[in-house]
């Protein structure tokens, strides 16, 4: 038989138990989050995509950093911008390195031709019409007609129809007198150790692969700049945004549970 004391006591015990269970769950959730935050900075960045909880949190946080700091130049979904001459970050094609999280993180930290001493700055595209000096290369000026020949050769490399004789002259210039191969490689496939773009893949940083844009690139040169973020973002933010960029071309690794 239940006494009055029993009846008032039972709900209290029940409430206490429920509160205890809730507190345990909360601390478990908090502990998991805390452990994941710790793993974000201590783990090898290339191993993080396989750690789904850490990756998921990083990509979510990285997206916010991206919207704030990167979307203005690289576009909201990482498509890049023809008007701003920024590369797409979502296509798995890289100017610098092979697109591992660690390599992306390096680019984000120090930038490209930024003022940071550790930025990527090994080379740039010389302007050939006035023969602007390039750090390592002695540039011999080209005439507008040479540059038109080179343009025809590059159109031919894309499989586009054009002036065959001009393309043949352009090929000789590319491989001998103008020395383009020295940076862009013999097969014009570019060099990801120095950030020199491929000229055969129909992916253009400057313009859309039309003759005028190619002519202008050769005539006036380029030295695209991505800022260094090491003094602007925290180490966690840099890693998060690098993982977000990595996930743009590896959606299967975004950490979403399937
Ligand atoms: C002021 C414009 C600008 C902003 C802001 C900017 N970038 Fe860039 N970024 C560039 C340009 C331009 C290039 C290409 C540089 C070149 O020509 O080599 C580039 C290149 C890159 C590359 C190299 C891509 C490749 O193919 O190897 C990565 C990665 C990158 N940016 C990430 C970021 C991230 C992440 C942010 C935000 C934290 C950011 N960028 C903000 C302009 C910008
Ligand atoms: C000193 C190294 C170097 C030499 C020599 C050089 N290039 Fe480049 N070229 C580059 C780099 C680096 C870029 C990318 C610049 C940037 O990211 O801002 C580039 C970009 C280009 C582009 C634009 C590509 C795009 O995706 O929009 C064209 C076209 C081009 N080069 C053609 C040539 C031709 C033709 C020659 C020879 C007359 C030549 N280059 C010689 C380094 C070089």
Token pair of 236 as six digits: 């966690």
| Contact assessment for residue 185 and residue 123, using Cβ atoms and an 8 Å cutoff | no
Token pair of 112 as six digits: 């490209």
Spatial separation of the C-alpha atoms in residues 199 and 188, rounded to whole Å: 6
Q: What is the pLDDT of residues 150-174, one digit of tens each?
A: 999 999 999 999 999 999 999 999 9
| Contact assessment for residue 226 and residue 214, using Cβ atoms and an 8 Å cutoff | no
Residue 48 CA neighbour count, 13 Å, CB half: 32
Token pair of 54 as six digits: 């850490």
CATH architecture of 48-122+225-252: Orthogonal Bundle (1.10)
Token pair of 68 as six digits: 């704030």
Question: What confidence score (pLDDT) does residue 218 get?
Answer: 96
| Contact assessment for residue 173 and residue 161, using Cβ atoms and an 8 Å cutoff | no
Strand, helix or coil for residue 70: coil
| Contact assessment for residue 158 and residue 202, using Cβ atoms and an 8 Å cutoff | yes
DSSP string, 132-161: --BTTB-PPP--HHHHHHHHHHHHHHTT--
Atom of ligand 2 nearest to the CA of 203: 26
Pocket-forming residues, ligand 2, beta carbon under 6 Å: 123-126, 128, 134, 137, 150, 154, 174, 178-180, 182-184, 195-197, 199, 204-206, 214, 217-218, 222-224
Q: What is the DSSP letter of 191?
A: B
- The lowest-confidence range among 105-114, 127-136, 164-173, 197-206 is 127-136
Question: What confidence score (pLDDT) does residue 132 get?
Answer: 58
**224 alpha carbon to ligand 1 midpoint, in Å?**
9
* CATH code matching the domain that covers 144-220, chosen among 3.40.50.2300, 3.30.390.30, 3.30.470.20, 1.10.760.10: 1.10.760.10
**226 alpha carbon to ligand 2 midpoint, in Å?**
17
Burial of 189 by CB count in 10 Å (0-12 exposed, 13-18 middle, 19+ buried)? Answer: middle
Question: What confidence score (pLDDT) does residue 257 get?
Answer: 63
The CB density around residue 195, as the number of other CB atoms within 10 Å, is: 21
CA-nearest residue, atom 20 of ligand 1: 226
Question: What confidence score (pLDDT) does residue 20 get?
Answer: 82
Q: Using the predicted structure, report yes or no on whether residue 185 has a pLDDT greater than 60.
A: yes
- Residue 255's pLDDT band, with cuts at 50, 70 and 90, is confident
Spatial separation of the C-alpha atoms in residues 218 and 184, rounded to whole Å: 12
Question: What confidence score (pLDDT) does residue 189 get?
Answer: 96
User: Average pLDDT for residues 55-81, to the nearest whole number?
Assistant: 96
Question: What confidence score (pLDDT) does residue 8 get?
Answer: 65
| Contact assessment for residue 25 and residue 17, using Cβ atoms and an 8 Å cutoff | no
User: Average pLDDT for residues 176-193, to the nearest whole number?
Assistant: 94
CA-nearest residue, atom 9 of ligand 2: 125
Pocket-forming residues, ligand 1, beta carbon under 6 Å: 69-70, 72-74, 85-87, 89, 94-96, 104, 107-108, 112, 195, 205, 224-227, 229, 241, 245
Spatial separation of the C-alpha atoms in residues 92 and 88, rounded to whole Å: 9
Q: Please report, in angstroms and rounded to a whole number, the separation of the first and last CA atoms in the chain.
A: 53
**CATH 1.10.760.10 domain locations along the chain:** 48-122+225-252, 144-220
Q: Using the predicted structure, report yes or no on whether residue 225 has a pLDDT greater than 80.
A: yes
DSSP string, 217-237: HHHH-B---B---TTTS-HHH
Q: What is the pLDDT of residues 10-49, one digit of tens each?
A: 778 888 888 888 888 877 777 777 777 788 999 999 999 9
């Amino acid at each position: 038989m239940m006494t009055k004391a029993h009846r008032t006591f039972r709900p209290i015990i029940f409430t206490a138990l429920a509160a205890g269970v809730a507190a345990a769950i909360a601390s478990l959730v908090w502990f998991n989050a805390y452990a994941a935050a710790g793993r974000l900075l201590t783990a090898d960045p290339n191993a993080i995509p396989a750690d789904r909880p850490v990756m998921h949190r990083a990509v979510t946080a990285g997206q916010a950093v991206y919207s704030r700091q990167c979307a203005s130049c690289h576009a909201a979904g990482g498509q890049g911008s023809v008007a701003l001459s920024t590369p797409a970050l979502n296509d798995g094609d890289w100017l610098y390195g092979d697109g591992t999280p660690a390599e992306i993180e390096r680019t984000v930290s120090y930038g490209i031709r930024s003022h940071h001493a550790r930025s990527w700055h090994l080379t740039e595209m010389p302007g050939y019409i006035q023969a602007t000096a390039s750090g390592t290369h002695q540039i011999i000026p080209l005439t507008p007609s040479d540059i038109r020949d080179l343009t025809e050769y590059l159109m031919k490399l894309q499989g586009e129809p054009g002036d065959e004789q001009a393309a043949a002259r352009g090929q000789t210039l590319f491989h001998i007198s103008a020395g383009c191969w020295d940076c862009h490689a013999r097969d014009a496939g570019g060099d990801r150790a120095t950030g020199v773009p491929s000229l055969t893949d129909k992916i253009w940083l400057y313009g859309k692969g039309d003759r005028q844009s190619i002519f202008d690139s050769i005539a006036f040169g380029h030295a695209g700049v991505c800022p260094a973020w090491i003094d602007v973002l925290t180490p966690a933010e840099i890693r998060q945004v690098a993982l977000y960029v990595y996930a743009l071309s590896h959606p299967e690794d975004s950490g979403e549970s399937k």
